[in-house]
Amino acid sequence: MSNNQLSNDQRARRRRRAISPSQRRAHRMRLSAPASVGERFDSTQSKLEALPATAEEILQDKLEKYGWEGSLGVLFAGTRDPESPLAALREHETTIVKEIYSYISNRWAGHVKHTIPAAFVARVRNTIFQLSDRRGRGRRMRVLSDGRTASSGFDDGFVAFARCGRVEFPEPADRNVNMMPFILGDKDSLPSHLQCYFPLIEQCPTMKSDKGKVAYLTVHESHVNAGKAQRREGLHIESPGTFSGNTNTSSFAPAEETLGWGRGLFSLRGSDTYEGGIFMASSMGNTSEVWDALVDNRMTGIVDRHGGCEHLRALIGEGTKLEAGELIWMTDCTPHKALPQKESGYRQFFRLVTPCITHWFADHSTENPKVPLPPSVTVVQGSKFT
């Protein structure tokens, strides 16, 4: 019997038989399981049409009570201390205390923005469109902006990171420098043992106007054991927000001085350009994760004194794990983190921070005898983690 002669019921039975019992069980589990934050943030067209939007706008009444860690421990301990006024809340940890902490953990929902994946953004003349599919193949779904040609800052930002192609790393030699100043576009401004990274630096699509300015190179080459991360774990952004005016300390204080660490502006002037920001790549896949999100670092307390923002994890959905050799650009307010390696192996990490920085941490950075710091950069003495 041909397929055209089958009834609708017969076709349905054939389709069901073609699906294995294990596939049916998995499908039922997905349907019956409560939707996770990542599933609610699924990249459907309806979600794309809503972007950019704050976590508060996306979640609305689905905003759950998160945060049973960190500061909640203080509240919980207080309920067990007879001399603490919080002792009155004892036996109410799962009701009143949890409700109190929900206001603490979710108060940032309006200051975390979900952004549009860069591949879904295109420009025609002075109008920016959001596409229904990856760039070059999708239809124009809606106008994002008429006359504005850049994604900049939290208020006007609509792109948090973008892929910039693939790179090849030089032969490893246990090189390790952090935020080392050099002249962008000048190979001779690099120490001899780092000049092998100049081709990789040149692959970063920096602005022509930045050539000749001081930029900052990080290279970390080392063997990493399974279960360990080479770089910083925990969700964070590179800009901690506000910085104390006292240059002899690393303390941060509200509303004193905004710390810039590359900043970052995604421009659509003809083709994609990246003004400021940070370029990053790794030789080992699935060891870095980055999010299509922006954190409003103008808000006092939204990140800790090191840019840490793990408490925002539940508000930003699923991240993107980078492949080996994948070069990306991101802003200094884009959440990201290093991931533990599944297997032991040698990892090479590359980062280029563009000239727009305000502070340079002497104890954590590498001097370059060939290139002094610009006069506009404040040198901070002491550990930034104390």
Residue of higher predicted confidence among 33 and 62: 62
- Where residue 239 falls among pLDDT bands split at 50, 70, 90? confident
- Where residue 28 falls among pLDDT bands split at 50, 70, 90? very low
- CA distances (Å), origin 161, targets 106, 114, 120, 198, 331: 24, 11, 12, 23, 7
Residue of higher predicted confidence among 13 and 176: 176
Would the pLDDT of 257 be above 70? no
Q: What is the mean pLDDT of the chain?
A: 75
Would the pLDDT of 282 be above 90? yes
Would the pLDDT of 343 be above 90? yes
pLDDT at 14: 52
Overall average pLDDT of the 1-13 stretch = 52
Residue of higher predicted confidence among 165 and 274: 165
Encode pLDDT of 220-232 as tens digits: 999 999 999 999 8
Q: What does the block give as tokens for 46?
A: 């309806």
First to last CA, the chain: 77
The Cα 7–Cα 85 span in angstroms is 72
pLDDT at 19: 44
pLDDT at 52: 84
Which residues have C-beta within 8 Å of that of residue 73, sequence separation ≥ 6?
none
**DSSP state letters, 52-86:** SEEHHHHHGGG------STHHHHHHHHHT-TTSGG
The Cα 1–Cα 14 span in angstroms is 13
pLDDT at 125: 52
> Does the model's pTM come out above 0.95?
no
pLDDT at 280: 96
pLDDT at 38: 39
Would the pLDDT of 197 be above 60? yes
pLDDT at 86: 74
pLDDT at 6: 54
Would the pLDDT of 155 be above 90? no
Provide the residue type at 7 as one letter.
S
Encode pLDDT of 301-315 as tens digits: 888 877 888 888 888
pLDDT at 34: 31
Overall average pLDDT of the 245-249 stretch = 43
Encode pLDDT of 325-336 as tens digits: 999 999 989 999
Q: What does the block give as tokens for 343?
A: 């297997």
Alpha carbon 212 to its chain's center: 28
The Cα 151–Cα 115 span in angstroms is 10
Would the pLDDT of 374 be above 50? yes
Encode pLDDT of 66-96 as tens digits: 444 455 566 666 677 778 887 777 777 666 6
pLDDT at 159: 87
pLDDT at 42: 45
Residue of higher predicted confidence among 248 and 325: 325
